[in-house]
Amino acid sequence: MIQAQPSLKAQKSKSEASGIENLIRILLKKHRTPFMLIKRCVLEKQYKRFQKYLPNIIPYYAVKANPNPGIIKTFINLGAGFDVASAAEMKMVLSLGASPSKIIFAHTIKSIEDIEFSRRRRVRLMTFDNEPELYKLAKHYPGAHVLVRIKVENQGSVVELSLKFGADPDQALFLLRKAKALGLTPMGISFHVGSQSTNVENYLQALEISFNIFNQAKENNLPLKIVDIGGGFPIQHFDNEIGINFERMAVQIRRQMKELFDKNVKFIAEPGRFFSGPAGTLVTQVIGRTFRNNKNYYYLNDGIYGDFSGMVFDHCKYEFRTLRRGQRFLSTLAGPTCDSFDTLSMNEEIPELYVGDVVYVKNIGAYSCASATPGFNGFSPAKIIVI
């Protein structure tokens, strides 16, 4: 009887798993857990992947996804722009060598102090979505270049981002004209389809709405130049996860752009998770174990208040892996704090583990350490190691 050979995809996955596990074993000799490994080669791979499939869109890395200096420097060297949401993020990327001309202040509600900082540092491209913000900008940063952020569909996105921000599209022309009347420079349209979006229709509909606003603005002697399509590009968190196909989405987005817009229109985007997510691997260890509710129950030295914060704030699910092999048992994984909320999973099938055994998670480089709570119960987030 001829045995079926493993598929090339399965062989590749097994080889990658072996590689990352060997690297973890090497790093364990030098570093205490928890630590997060960020691989520069993966950051570069994701950047080049974006450029290959969306060549006419300039990427501005969303710093909020992971503001680690090593990540920022990598993207500076690659020529990326940066999406910042505060003066603190702006100050950091500027201090690391980013050009003010490659930064977008992509928060529609800004403090006066942050606006004035932006003016002093000559970061002039920014978003807004309401009339009062325009008066604030006109007073504290006259001549600023502005994009009106519009509300668009977020169906199929894990995190809804049109609940809090975005002007109704039928108000866009009024807001752009008001911006010009106040001495600002209206440059175009911004939108965001939601985070971890698997529904390409969100992008296609938003591009069509933006195109209609461009036409209205042109008819009113207000030519626009920029379309910011935001972020939301999805990644796989599990090796065998289905329904995630960036390449297929990119082809449709690119086609829609070409069909609707003049070739002189500048397109930018704000990928965060797509760039840093796949580059991160979190390494934790078991610090305690018990048997509860007829299951093995393991306590790890990182949890919800640390680098698994994305499970709450980002509604993210992760694939837990172990270095130990053997028969698998239904188990619970929990974090180290004294809060029962700090439970990671109630139904993981993993080998029996002992104190000191490693549990690691891939594709966790975004919205993890960035939203962690430093020092809750005295537990610090993972050390970040960029290689």
- The CB density around residue 357, as the number of other CB atoms within 10 Å, is 18
41, 316, 338, 369: the catalytic one is 338
Structure tokens at 148: 């009106």
Residues 6 or more apart whose Cβ sits within 8 Å of residue 172: 148, 150, 189, 213, 216
Structure tokens at 25: 């074993």
Closest CA to 211 of 160, 260, 253, 157: 260
End-to-end Cα spacing for the chain: 46
- 64 close to 105: Cβ distance less than 8 angstroms: no
Q: Check if 316 is active-site.
A: no
Structure tokens at 310: 């994305």
Distance between CA atoms of residues 315 and 249, nearest Å? 22
- 308 close to 382: Cβ distance less than 8 angstroms: no
Residues taking part in catalysis: 338
